[in-house]
Amino acid sequence: MDFNFISSAFSDVPCIFLYRDPVEVLASHQTLRGSFMVPGLIEPGWFGLNSEWIKSISLDEYGAAVLNKIYEAGLDVVSNGNALGVNYRQLPHFIWTDLKHFFHLKFTEEELNKIKEISKYYSKNPGIKFSDMLEYENRTASQHHERLIEKYVNPIFNKLEAVRKSL
């Protein structure tokens, strides 16, 4: 994961790094696990993880280790000014306020109303309200998830939040 290489290739293109509370991410993947959260579906070396080590850990621990690497890369690009850090909790309001300005977008009243209506629903399952899905995922987070995130991700997540809030 070399976000800085990608951003240098497209240096004139504004970029955001959207991230979420890592406990919520791990809980979300209990319902619908992304391919990057399953050992072996993506080469572990891409995340800087050892193939042998991942054989000795649980699926959730692998997920926490992957999140650590993703958040480290995100912290790097946000800290270097190559991307704007956006916490998932800033959504959806961020879309029609700060994001609009960041990308120099102009919405008509009709477009803005459509964006606000669509943003009420969960992207992976449009039949579910966004707020209901967040509430469900927070309920599914376990103490086990919290311990794994504390071990692997929280120091990086906290730094990422501090950088985002300082800008």
Tell whether 1 is covered by a domain. Answer: no
Q: So what's the pLDDT on residue 153? A: 97
Q: How many domains does the chain have?
A: 1
In a domain, 119, yes or no: yes
The DSSP line for 106-122 is: ---HHHHHHHHHHTTEE
The pLDDT value given to residue 10? 86
Say whether pLDDT at 70 is over 70.
Answer: yes
Q: What is the pLDDT of residues 33-64, one digit of tens each?
A: 899 999 989 999 999 999 999 999 999 999 99
14 within a domain of the structure (yes/no): no
The closest of 132, 106, 130 to 119, measured between CA atoms, is: 130
Q: Could you give the CA distance from residue 7 to residue 134 in angstroms, rounded to a whole number?
A: 31
User: Tokens 């970029």 appear where?
Assistant: 15
pLDDT band at 13 (very low <50, low <70, confident <90, very high): confident
Domain limits at 54? 20-166
Q: How far are the Cα atoms of 22, 95, 167 from residue 155, in angstroms, in the given order?
A: 11, 27, 19
Is 79 within the bounds of a domain?
yes
Does 6 map to a domain? no
Domain membership of residue 84 (yes or no) is yes
Q: Domain for residue 10, yes or no?
A: no
